[in-house]
Structure 1
Amino acid sequence: MTSHAKKNYFISMFTGIVIFILWTAITWHGRMSSVIFPSPSEIWDCFLNLIKDGYKGHTLWEHLFASLRRLITAFFLAGVTAIPLGLISGYSDKIRAVFEPIIAFIRPLPPLGYYTIIILWMGIGDGSKIFLLFIGAFAPLFISCVAGVARVRVDYVRRAFTLGAKKRQVFFYVILPAALPDLFVGMRNAISIAYATSVAAEMVAADSGIGWMVLDASKYLRSDVIFVGIIIMGMTGIVLDKAFLMLENIIVFWKGRN
């Protein structure tokens, strides 16, 4: 870790400590109702109780696994479809003209806006929930791949053709490596959007999942359970993002180098 990275790390740690101190001060000795804003100790006790007793017939880890199973399945399906289509669309104007209007139409729509239609098509099982997350992850992956290919320097491509490379070789040895940084940005955005969408996906006919747990707890004003669920989702999201960042540093090791 470089000195600059260490400095940023300590700044982040200091920020977290300041937030925790302010949080403790605001909720000290019941200054604020626990229904509105539970204290750190109340949330910690709730977390321990959820680990011990679970919530509504499922352990805390079963709720987390249910959400991650839907998320990872949807993200994998989005990856194997959106990445090839995005790369090819960035390489071919005609193919991009086919898919761009569809993505432009779907991208701004709120998940709940079309979830009812998905339920009519696919029912209320896990399939409809996974498909909703799939749509949420598809657009950022597709757009990042198209942008990554579009940003490839033209002189790199021309030099490859000048040296006798075929179109297939140019794509795999010039365009794809150059587009990888944008691809990983798209993957990180896609996993975050899909995870956020999981709350909407677990609103209908679900009985497990962190998103469902948070929504169900809100019906009974269980703020402590809500905060535990939100913190778990946030921490899980950070871990997933860091995992993709580490993978990017391994695969795209030349990024940022002259």
Structure 2
Amino acid sequence: MIILVIYIAVFVLSFLVVRWGVKRVLQARRDFTSLKTVTFGDESAVRPDRWASVISVVTIFLLWGAFTGSKWVPIHAPGPFVGDTAFTYTAEAEDGSRDDATVHVHVFRVGEEAAEREVPPGEGFAKDDSVSVGAWRSTLVRVDRNDELTRKDGANVVAVDGQPITPGGEVTTDAGRIAMTAKGSLNYAPPTGMQMEPIWLPPPEAVVARFFEVSREGYQNFTLWEHLYWSLFRVIVGFVLGALVGIPLGFAMGLSNWFRGWFDPIVEFMRPVPPLALIPLVIIWAGIGETGKIILLFLAALWIMTIAARAGVSGVAISKVHAAYSLGASRWQILRHVIMPNSLPEIFTGARVAMGVCWGTVVAAELVAAEKGAGMMIMVASRFQLTDIVIMGIILIGVIGYGIDILMRKAEAWLVPWKGRV
């Protein structure tokens, strides 16, 4: 929640500074968009703000580093407590007499060696104790293990640092959180601060170091580039096959009543079915080899491309068709020179969506008996809680997917220069 609030605050502040400050001083554009008199609601007038893109990426990186204690960022969120602390518990004997004892705690960084210290037991029937615990961890403290009166003698802990406590309850003190188990032992957890534990979210430098390590040494008998190659190969083959079948099918559904009536129930039935739900059937029908994975990706792209092509045909302005007929165009000429060019924007939009779905599907497909692939690498790493490899794989998949999306947008700008202008 705190991270979300900070992110929203940075977004609002950046918008105000850039929109009302920097741009009024530096902006001097005289391009096609800037000269338009009406821009609100015009999709062609909306372009990514480069300032916003840069600030967005930098903000995410800084938040990641700040809440993981990264050495690459100058500001950090409060980290976990590391050092020596103590809390006092009050034991009550069966006859109602009470005595206080102190538990000395040494909190060490996970991965470091830490030995428990010896402390004088003190006076009274409750004796002082010492324990060691790693940061972000908790430990069970049997405070009566060296007391003269134990739970077997009817003695119980009734307060911690002056705060009453009962079995199943907990108190929070300056030393941390102390909870009491149903049997009367104390479970101590030191303050965790606001930083994430590396096992849940490692800092950026750990992910980068793991990237170079896997690049040199490979992972699970294959190099990093082989893992990425096979994932990319499966995605491209499945997407291309889905487009080769889906685009003609969409055109046919958009131009023919018979094709629309025949295939519409099938397409509308399969469209909401997630590709992951088809994995068991694909395994039964095609096995766990490459064929099954490509079939799954083909099905993931097929319905999206079909609907995109059908929507592209349906969105062609009828006035253009009438104009072509009035000039004596044949059906083939109308299809080639009117319908196909005007449906390309919808097809490219569907292709970008389909490519994203294929990337999400290939990771899941590789979870099933795959020997190589980014999904397999992420799945195996997660079993051993190698979060740095998991995040590395996610980032690489995102970067490759984003790169493909940029290439598709460039291709769209080159092949469909009239988009948003006619």
Q: Please identify the structure whose Cα radius of gyration is greater.
A: 2
In 2, distance between residues paired with 1:32 and 1:193? Answer: 30
Shift of 1:118: 1.0
In 2, distance between residues paired with 1:229 and 1:121? Answer: 29
In 2, distance between residues paired with 1:110 and 1:222? Answer: 28
- The structure 2 residue matched to 1:166, chosen from 330, 336, 349, is 330
> More deviation in 63-72 or 90-99?
90-99
Deviations 1:95-153 (A, max 9, x none): 01111211111121122322111111111100000000111011111101100100111
| Superposition pairs of residues 27-38 of structure 1, within 5 angstroms | 27-28=68-69, 31-38=195-202
In 1, distance between residues paired with 2:196 and 2:283? Answer: 41
- SS of the residue aligned with 1:231? helix
Match status 1:117 vs 2:262: no
How has the CA–CA distance of structure 1 residues 7 and 64 changed in structure 2, closer, same or farther, with 3 Å as cutoff?
closer
In 2, distance between residues paired with 1:6 and 1:249? Answer: 13
Map of 2:311 onto structure 1: 147
> Is the 8 Å Cα contact of residues 83 and 141 (structure 1) preserved in structure 2?
yes
- The structure 2 residue matched to 1:82, chosen from 246, 252, 270, is 246
Map of 1:99 onto structure 2: 263
Q: Which runs of 5+ in 1 are unaligned?
A: none
Shift of 1:173: 0.8
> Is the 8 Å Cα contact of residues 35 and 221 (structure 1) preserved in structure 2?
yes
> Is the 8 Å Cα contact of residues 112 and 200 (structure 1) preserved in structure 2?
yes
Map of 2:351 onto structure 1: 187
- SS of the residue aligned with 2:202? coil
In 1, distance between residues paired with 2:250 and 2:398? Answer: 29
One-letter amino acid of the counterpart of residue 161, structure 1: Y
Aligned residues: 258
Deviations 1:4-30 (A, max 9, x none): 789711210111111111111101167
One-letter amino acid of the counterpart of residue 210, structure 2: C
Match status 1:18 vs 2:59: yes
> Is the 8 Å Cα contact of residues 231 and 373 (structure 2) preserved in structure 1?
yes
In 2, distance between residues paired with 1:92 and 1:216? Answer: 48
> More deviation in 88-97 or 141-150?
88-97
How has the CA–CA distance of structure 1 residues 232 and 100 changed in structure 2, closer, same or farther, with 3 Å as cutoff?
same
- The structure 1 residue matched to 2:340, chosen from 159, 176, 180, is 176
> More deviation in 98-107 or 65-74?
98-107
> How does the TM-score come out when normalised to structure 2?
0.59
In 2, distance between residues paired with 1:217 and 1:111? Answer: 24
Map of 1:59 onto structure 2: 223
- Report the aligned-residue RMSD: 1.7
One-letter amino acid of the counterpart of residue 64, structure 1: L
Q: Which has the higher contact order (CA 8 A, sep 6+)?
A: 1
Map of 1:8 onto structure 2: 49
> Is the 8 Å Cα contact of residues 111 and 200 (structure 1) preserved in structure 2?
no
> Is the 8 Å Cα contact of residues 235 and 359 (structure 2) preserved in structure 1?
yes
> Is the 8 Å Cα contact of residues 37 and 223 (structure 1) preserved in structure 2?
yes
Map of 1:232 onto structure 2: 396
In 2, distance between residues paired with 1:110 and 1:80? Answer: 21
How has the CA–CA distance of structure 1 residues 135 and 7 changed in structure 2, closer, same or farther, with 3 Å as cutoff?
closer
Shift of 1:233: 0.6
- SS of the residue aligned with 1:144? helix
- Percent of pairs identical after alignment? 38
Map of 1:213 onto structure 2: 377
- The structure 2 residue matched to 1:45, chosen from 209, 213, 216, is 209
How has the CA–CA distance of structure 1 residues 193 and 158 changed in structure 2, closer, same or farther, with 3 Å as cutoff?
same
> How does the TM-score come out when normalised to structure 1?
0.95
Match status 1:243 vs 2:407: yes
How has the CA–CA distance of structure 1 residues 7 and 99 changed in structure 2, closer, same or farther, with 3 Å as cutoff?
closer
In 1, distance between residues paired with 2:48 and 2:343? Answer: 30
> Is the 8 Å Cα contact of residues 118 and 132 (structure 1) preserved in structure 2?
yes
How has the CA–CA distance of structure 1 residues 6 and 176 changed in structure 2, closer, same or farther, with 3 Å as cutoff?
closer
Shift of 1:230: 0.3
> More deviation in 215-224 or 154-163?
154-163
Shift of 1:256: 2.0
- SS of the residue aligned with 1:33? coil
Between Structure 1 and Structure 2, the one with more helix by share is: 1
